[in-house]
């Protein structure tokens, strides 16, 4: 309906637009007519002004006058033309010579454009908006040159007041809302209609649209009202005036719009009425019957029928409804039959273990059934990628190859599936049957695996009947025994009998097989070539349904090589590889076994070769090993019943004497050993003489275990070394007491670390010149709760031996760090010396290299700590010790050499190690008062140290004389009881406070 009404709507719309266009043209024509009338009137007024000035200019004689007095002609002109506010005359150079209006002083108009134009062009000119000085009002001036005998003698000026001009415009009869503006060539308004109080001289652009030409233009003003805007020139000459005309046509426009809306509204009302009528007829004759058909189709989809007979339905649709009802009844009957058949088929499929798919030639799934096809709706979701590709290929070959069988595995459990594809002859479709064959595959795999293991196992396998007759063997059996399967099958396992086992052995084997069905153990058999071998054999019995022995399966492994290796490993773990003597492990086992015997008395001799390290260092380990071998052979010459020799490591040998039940017998054996070492040992043609230190311990007097006896003998051996080496010593009560005291001190030392019994004392170090304290030496003390203060000389050696020195050293450093921080906060720069043990330097794991970081965390510098080392460590220290000392020096720590002079060290070596201080030992300082040699020695050490750039600290200064002598010798620092004893932290701080006051 809308489409049919569209041409009429367009026609009406075109007529309305044409009517509105005609109205606009009429308004434009009317506006132009009024504008031309106004322009004509204004043009006539300007032309009258021009004629007046021309007439005056043609009478130059009458215009002659005295300066300041205007001629009568000008007064007459003003009376005849009252629209002019003033007349005046000016010389050619612009000076006003007379003015009808009084002026206060001389006036020049030479700068006025209209004046210049009148002179330059010799004709009438029009000025622009200005504020005239003669009448003190907004005016528009006119000028005309005056000639006499062809010469310019003056210029006549006429002044028109702009307010008068605007009032003359207001007398025009124009339509209401019309607006007229007259503007000069600068577009400044000089007159306007209707007259208003708005100042003249303002720009036209403030009230007029920009960009308008002389043609009529339709625009809306600022209030939205419609106007025709026209711009017309009044004069074409320079200085021309322009008239701006705005003609309203809002009423005509509104009338046209109302007519436009009325016609369109009537049209749309009529159109809506026609649409409603058409829809009503359409619903009654077509849409309602179609709704009945749609409901009937929906009911048919649900298996129901609806009555389509209706009196309101057109005849054609009624016939169509009758045919639809008949077709629906036939279809519902057919669907019921198909549903019954489908139910039968679904029941049959559910009873089978397989899953089914029906697909078309493109691989689209048309139907599916079964648990195996519930996880997807497409072939790519149901099958692995490679099976999916093969199915797609098979679908393209259904006509040539309608049957296809595939197998695949899926999932972490590797379940197996069989896929059968069968094409359907009546359509380009196929049926896919999927079956889970995991159980069948597992059985097949188990059989294949058993056969694979049996044929490829590295272990020999034999299958016999219940009586031991061989039924089958594998390849490993042939490789181990040398008998082929043909040679072994049919015979008993007795063909492998080695004769190494008696009848009782085999009787026990058969009893175990009869009772438990299983036997396992080590057995020696014989190969075909007669060679014996050892095997680990396992025999299992297989029973029949009556639980009678049916078969026996024997599995064996040749362990001959393993037995040999075990024997070698046992010997390597119990015997020394160099001397072939029993080692420490074998010695302890043998000794512990002897000590378990009741009332057993014996002696052990622990022997250490003297200076063996020197031989290794000078001749090398090769000759050292040769010497150990020769010593072992020589000692074996004294072996006898009850005497056992062993090497327990390095250059240490142990002799166990079972019949030495007294110290005298043990000493006699030791003297025999000493006789052995009196001979020369030949090393590569060179004779070598060595001695031995022997420690003797008796059981049960000196110990009742291998560990205690070896420890006692070791202590006795060290006593023999201390007595001058190449001798022997027996363990006695003194050594036992020392050992017990050592253990007690070690226990107390561990407890002291836990209970914080160790404290730090500080002995000041002063400058020799002024005895100022800028340094101190940190000294560790043990404040024992029962024994009082214990000197470091008593516990430091034990701490070094037991590695407790690391904990003590770290404790001393931490206390030194805290003390340094306190002293530097209160007394400025201060340095503390700290003794560091060689054990700390040489340990595999040490905290020395972490000291720099700890100092940095405490805002301290490494040079605030002086590390004191011994001469021996510097001269004879291990490579690791030297390297760590070098690292500490590189980190910035200062180094002092303690007890200098006692080890005859090299001063050049001190310089090479970048040492900062040397400390002269107290033993040299003690004698300088009475022994000239000691004084000279101290002076020499100080002089040489200074030449190497080292500072010198003298220890043990106890008198003023010692202080003065060392001061005169140039010593830098002093330390000793003369200045201060070692003191606690609090005492040191009190002393420093006293010194600072």
> Mapped to the 3 state alphabet, what secondary structure does 740-769 carry?
HHHHHHHHHHHHHHHHCCEEEEEEEEEECC
| Predicted local distance difference test score (pLDDT) of residue 535 | 92
CB burial readout 826-836, b (16+ within 10 A) else e: eeeebbbbbbb
250 contact partners, CB below 8 Å, separation of at least 6: 177, 225, 226, 227
pLDDT over threshold 60, residue 2: no
Same domain, 559 and 635: no
Same domain, 405 and 532: no
CATH number at residue 380: 3.30.450.20
- Identify the residue whose tokens are 């007829």: 281
Same domain, 673 and 817: no
237 contact partners, CB below 8 Å, separation of at least 6: 125, 126
| Predicted local distance difference test score (pLDDT) of residue 502 | 92
For residue 466, give the nearest of 544, 557, 545, 556 by alpha carbon: 544
> What's the rounded Cα separation, in Å, for the pair 392 and 387?
9
> What's the rounded Cα separation, in Å, for the pair 170 and 222?
23
- Local structure of 11: helix, strand or coil: helix
> What's the rounded Cα separation, in Å, for the pair 565 and 896?
58
Any domain includes 755: no
Q: Who wins on pLDDT, 894 or 441?
A: 894
pLDDT over threshold 70, residue 236: no
Any domain includes 276: no
E-assigned strand segments in 100-136: 125-126, 130-132
Burial class of residue 241 in the structure, from the number of CB atoms within 10 Å of its CB (0-12 exposed, 13-18 middle, 19+ buried): buried
CB burial readout 752-781, b (16+ within 10 A) else e: beeeebbebbbbbbbebeeeebbbbbbbbb
Instruction: Please give the C-alpha separations between residue 254 and each of 20, 266, 384, 908, in angstroms, as whole numbers.
Output: 11, 18, 81, 122
What are the two backbone dihedrals, phi and then psi, of residue 525, each rounded to the nearest 5 degrees? -120, 180
DSSP assignment letter at 469: B
Two structure tokens written together for 395: 């679908």
Same domain, 585 and 552: no
At 995, which helix (H) or strand (E)? helix 985-996
Instruction: Please give the C-alpha separations between residue 297 and each of 305, 332, 532, in angstroms, as whole numbers.
Output: 8, 12, 97
Domain termination site, one of 521, 539, 563: 563
For 772-784, write each residue's pLDDT tens digit: 998 999 999 999 9
For 871-912, write each residue's pLDDT tens digit: 766 665 557 888 888 899 999 999 998 877 655 445 555 666
Identify the band that residue 237 occupies on the pLDDT scale cut at 50, 70 and 90. very low
| Predicted local distance difference test score (pLDDT) of residue 761 | 95
> What's the rounded Cα separation, in Å, for the pair 845 and 494?
65
For residue 823, give the nearest of 997, 995, 988, 994 by alpha carbon: 988
At 779, which helix (H) or strand (E)? strand 773-784
Same domain, 834 and 966: yes
pLDDT over threshold 60, residue 213: no
Among the residues of 457-595, which ranges form H helices?
475-481, 485-488, 503-516, 560-574, 584-595
> What's the rounded Cα separation, in Å, for the pair 971 and 951?
8
- Identify the residue whose tokens are 């206390």: 815
| Predicted local distance difference test score (pLDDT) of residue 904 | 47
Q: Any bridge partners for residue 99, and if so which? A: 88
| Predicted local distance difference test score (pLDDT) of residue 816 | 94
CA geometry: angle 402, 407, 411, nearest 5 deg: 140
Domain count, the chain: 5
> What's the rounded Cα separation, in Å, for the pair 232 and 241?
9
> What's the rounded Cα separation, in Å, for the pair 708 and 696?
12
> What's the rounded Cα separation, in Å, for the pair 109 and 154?
12
> What's the rounded Cα separation, in Å, for the pair 925 and 937?
10
For 77-103, write each residue's pLDDT tens digit: 888 888 788 888 999 998 888 888 877
| Predicted local distance difference test score (pLDDT) of residue 217 | 67
For 682-702, write each residue's pLDDT tens digit: 888 888 889 999 999 999 888
Same domain, 559 and 591: no
Query: Do the bridges between strand 130-132 and strand 137-148 make them parallel or antiparallel, or are there none, so unpaired?
Result: antiparallel
Same domain, 545 and 668: no
Any domain includes 657: yes
| Predicted local distance difference test score (pLDDT) of residue 741 | 80
For residue 509, give the nearest of 495, 528, 494 by alpha carbon: 494
Q: For the packed helices 960-968 and 932-947, what is the interaxial angle rounded to 10 degrees?
A: 40
Query: Do the bridges between strand 686-688 and strand 549-558 make them parallel or antiparallel, or are there none, so unpaired?
Result: unpaired
Identify the band that residue 420 occupies on the pLDDT scale cut at 50, 70 and 90. confident
Domain of 413 in residue numbering reads as 352-441
Average pLDDT, the chain: 82
Which pTM does this prediction carry? 0.42
For residue 434, give the nearest of 540, 536, 359, 344 by alpha carbon: 359
Any domain includes 59: yes
Give residue 675's Cα distance to chain centre.
76
| Predicted local distance difference test score (pLDDT) of residue 27 | 66
Four-residue CA torsion sign, 95, 98, 102, 105: positive
Q: Is the peptide bond before 194 cis (omega within 30 degrees of 0)?
A: yes
Same domain, 60 and 90: yes
Same domain, 118 and 45: yes
Average pLDDT over residues 957-978: 95
For residue 644, give the nearest of 696, 708, 591 by alpha carbon: 591
- Local structure of 573: helix, strand or coil: helix
Four-residue CA torsion sign, 567, 569, 570, 571: positive
Give residue 76's Cα distance to chain centre.
107
- Local structure of 613: helix, strand or coil: helix
State the first-to-last Cα distance of the chain, in angstroms, to the nearest integer.
121
Contact criterion met (CB below 8 Å) for 606 and 694: yes
Contact criterion met (CB below 8 Å) for 57 and 144: yes
Reported for 511-516, long-range contacts at CB under 8 A and 24+ positions apart, including other chains, are 513/539, 513/541, 513/549, 513/552
Two structure tokens written together for 796: 């430091």
pLDDT over threshold 60, residue 657: yes
Average pLDDT over residues 101-116: 83
Domain termination site, one of 441, 471, 494: 441
Same domain, 471 and 590: no
| Predicted local distance difference test score (pLDDT) of residue 219 | 61
65 contact partners, CB below 8 Å, separation of at least 6: 71, 89, 97, 98
CATH number at residue 978: 3.20.20.450
Considering only 32-41, 94-103, 211-220, 711-720, which range has the smallest mean pLDDT?
Answer: 211-220
Any domain includes 284: no
> What's the rounded Cα separation, in Å, for the pair 337 and 668?
123
Two structure tokens written together for 46: 């300007």
> What's the rounded Cα separation, in Å, for the pair 941 and 920?
8
Same domain, 481 and 427: no
Two structure tokens written together for 941: 């050490």
Same domain, 528 and 623: no
> What's the rounded Cα separation, in Å, for the pair 604 and 595?
12
> What's the rounded Cα separation, in Å, for the pair 962 and 981?
16
Domain termination site, one of 731, 755, 785: 731
> What's the rounded Cα separation, in Å, for the pair 126 and 107?
19
| Predicted local distance difference test score (pLDDT) of residue 64 | 86
Any domain includes 273: no
For 382-408, write each residue's pLDDT tens digit: 777 777 777 777 777 766 677 777 777
CATH number at residue 646: 3.30.70.270
What are the two backbone dihedrals, phi and then psi, of residue 531, each rounded to the nearest 5 degrees? -75, 135
For 133-169, write each residue's pLDDT tens digit: 777 788 888 899 999 888 888 999 998 887 777 777 7
- Identify the residue whose tokens are 């209609």: 193
- Identify the residue whose tokens are 């069988």: 405
Any domain includes 70: yes
> What's the rounded Cα separation, in Å, for the pair 808 and 814?
10
Q: Who wins on pLDDT, 768 or 67?
A: 768
Q: Who wins on pLDDT, 730 or 286?
A: 730
Name the range with the highest mean pLDDT among 439-448, 724-733, 754-763.
754-763
- Is residue 976 left, alpha or beta, with left meaning phi > 0 and alpha meaning psi from -120 to 50? left
Half-sphere exposure of 178 (CA within 13 A, CB side): 22
Any domain includes 110: yes
Q: What is the dihedral of CA 564, 567, 573, 575, to 10 degrees?
A: -110
Q: Is the peptide bond before 811 cis (omega within 30 degrees of 0)?
A: no
Four-residue CA torsion sign, 228, 229, 235, 236: negative
> What's the rounded Cα separation, in Å, for the pair 836 and 195?
116
């Amino acid at each position: 309906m809308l489409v049919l009404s569209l041409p009429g709507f367009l026609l009406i719309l075109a007529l309305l637009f044409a009517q509105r266009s005609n109205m606009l043209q009429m308004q434009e024509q009317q506006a132009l007519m009024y504008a031309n009338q106004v322009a004509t009137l204004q043009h006539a007024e300007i032309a009258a002004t021009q004629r007046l000035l021309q007439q005056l200019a043609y009478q130059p004689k009458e215009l002659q006058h005295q300066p300041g007095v205007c001629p009568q002609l000008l007064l007459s002109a003003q009376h005849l033309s009252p629209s002019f506010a003033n007349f005046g005359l000016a010389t050619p150079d612009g000076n006003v010579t007379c003015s009808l209006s009084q002026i206060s002083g001389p006036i020049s108009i030479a700068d006025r454009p209209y004046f210049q134009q009148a002179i330059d062009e010799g004709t009438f000119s029009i000025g622009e908006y200005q504020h005239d000085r003669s009448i003190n009002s907004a005016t528009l001036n006119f000028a005309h040159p005056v000639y006499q005998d062809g010469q310019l003698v003056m210029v006549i000026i006429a002044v028109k007041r702009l307010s008068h001009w605007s009032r003359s415009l207001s007398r025009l009869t124009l339509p209401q809302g019309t607006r007229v503006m007259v503007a000069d060539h600068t577009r400044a308004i000089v007159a306007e209609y209707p007259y208003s109080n708005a100042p003249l001289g303002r720009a036209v652009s403030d009230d007029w649209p920009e960009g308008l030409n002389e043609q009529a233009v339709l625009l809306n003003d600022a209030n939205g009202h419609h106007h025709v805007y026209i711009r017309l020139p009044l004069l074409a000459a320079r200085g021309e005036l322009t008239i701006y005309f705005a003609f309203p046509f809002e009423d005509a426009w509104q009338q046209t719009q109302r007519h436009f809306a009325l016609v369109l509204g009537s049209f749309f009302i009529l159109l809506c009425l026609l649409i409603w009528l058409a829809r009503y007829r359409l619903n009654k004759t077509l849409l309602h019957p179609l709704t009945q058909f749609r409901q009937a189709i929906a009911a048919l989809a649900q298996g129901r029928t609806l009555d389509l007979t209706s009196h309101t339905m057109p005849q054609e649709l009624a016939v169509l409804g009758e045919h639809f009802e008949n077709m629906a009844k036939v279809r519902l009957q057919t669907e019921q039959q198909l549903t019954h058949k489908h139910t039968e088929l679904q029941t049959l499929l559910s009873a089978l273990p397989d899953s089914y798919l029906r697909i078309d030639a493109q691989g689209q799934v048309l139907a599916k059934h079964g648990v195996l096809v519930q996880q997807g709706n497409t072939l790519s979701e149901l099958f692995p990628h490679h099976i999916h590709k093969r199915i797609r290929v098979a679908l393209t070959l259904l006509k040539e190859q309608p049957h296809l069988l595939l197998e695949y595995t899926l999932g972490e459990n590797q379940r197996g599936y069989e896929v059968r594809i069968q094409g359907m002859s009546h359509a380009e479709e196929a049926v896919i049957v999927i079956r889970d064959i995991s159980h069948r595959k597992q059985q097949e795999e188990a059989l294949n695996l058993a056969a694979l293991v049996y044929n490829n196992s590295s272990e020999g396998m034999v299958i016999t009947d219940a009586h031991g007759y061989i039924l089958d063997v594998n390849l490993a059996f042939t490789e181990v025994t040398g008998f082929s399967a043909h040679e072994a099958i049919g015979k008993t396992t007795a063909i492998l009998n080695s004769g190494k086992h008696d009848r009782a052995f085999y009787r026990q084997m058969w009893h175990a097989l009869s009772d438990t069905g299983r036997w396992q153990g080590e057995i020696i058999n014989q190969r075909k070539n007669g060679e014996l071998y050892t095997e680990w054999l396992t025999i299992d019995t297989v029973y029949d349904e009556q639980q009678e022995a049916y078969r026996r399966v024997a599995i064996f492994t040749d362990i001959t090589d393993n037995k040999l290796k075990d024997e070698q490993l046992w010997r390597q773990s119990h015997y020394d590889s160099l001397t072939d003597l029993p080692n420490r492990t074998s010695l302890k086992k043998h000794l512990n076994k002897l000590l378990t015997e009741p009332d057993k008395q014996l002696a052990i001799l622990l022997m250490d070769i003297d200076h063996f390290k020197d031989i290794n260092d000078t001749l090398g380990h090769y000759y050292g090993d040769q010497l150990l071998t020769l010593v072992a052979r020589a000692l074996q010459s004294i072996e006898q019943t009850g005497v056992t020799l062993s090497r327990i490591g390095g250059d240490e040998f142990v002799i166990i004497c079972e019949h030495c039940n007294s110290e005298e017998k043990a000493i006699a054996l030791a003297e025999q050993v000493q006789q052995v070492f009196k001979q020369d040992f030949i090393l590569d043609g060179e004779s070598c003489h060595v001695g031995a230190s022997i420690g003797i311990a008796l059981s049960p007097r000196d110990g009742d275990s291998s560990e205690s006896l070896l420890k006692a003998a070791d202590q006795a051996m060290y006593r023999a070394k201390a007595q001058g080496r190449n001798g022997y010593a027996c363990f006695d009560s003194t050594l036992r007491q020392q050992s017990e005291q050592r253990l007690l001190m070690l226990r107390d030392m561990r407890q002291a670390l836990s209970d914080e019994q160790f404290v730090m004392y500080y002995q000041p170090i002063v400058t020799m010149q002024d005895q100022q304290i800028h340094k101190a030496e940190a000294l560790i003390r043990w404040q024992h709760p029962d024994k009082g203060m214990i000197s470091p000389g008593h516990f430091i050696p034990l701490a070094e031996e037991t590695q407790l020195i690391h904990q003590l050293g770290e404790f001393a450093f931490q206390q030194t760090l805290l003390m340094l921080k306190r002293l530097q906060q209160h007394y400025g720069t201060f340095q503390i010396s700290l003794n560091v043990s060689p054990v700390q330097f040489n340990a595999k794991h040490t905290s020395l290299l972490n000291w720099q970081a700890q100092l940095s965390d405490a805002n301290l510098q490494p040079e605030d700590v002086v590390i004191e080392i011994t001469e021996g460590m510097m001269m004879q220290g291990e490579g690791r010790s030297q390297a760590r000392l070098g690292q500490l020096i590189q980190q910035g720590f200062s180094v002092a050499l303690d007890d200098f002079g006692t080890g005859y060290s090299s001063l050049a070596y001190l310089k090479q190690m970048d040492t900062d201080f040397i400390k002269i030992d107290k033993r040299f300082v003690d004698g300088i008062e009475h022994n000239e040699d000691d004084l000279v020695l101290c002076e020499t050490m100080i002089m040489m140290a200074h030449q190497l750039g080292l500072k010198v600290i003298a220890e043990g200064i106890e008198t003023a004389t010692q202080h003065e002598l060392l001061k005169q010798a140039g010593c830098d620092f002093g330390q000793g009881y003369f200045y201060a004893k070692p003191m606690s932290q609090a005492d040191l701080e009190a002393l420093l406070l006293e010194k600072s006051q």
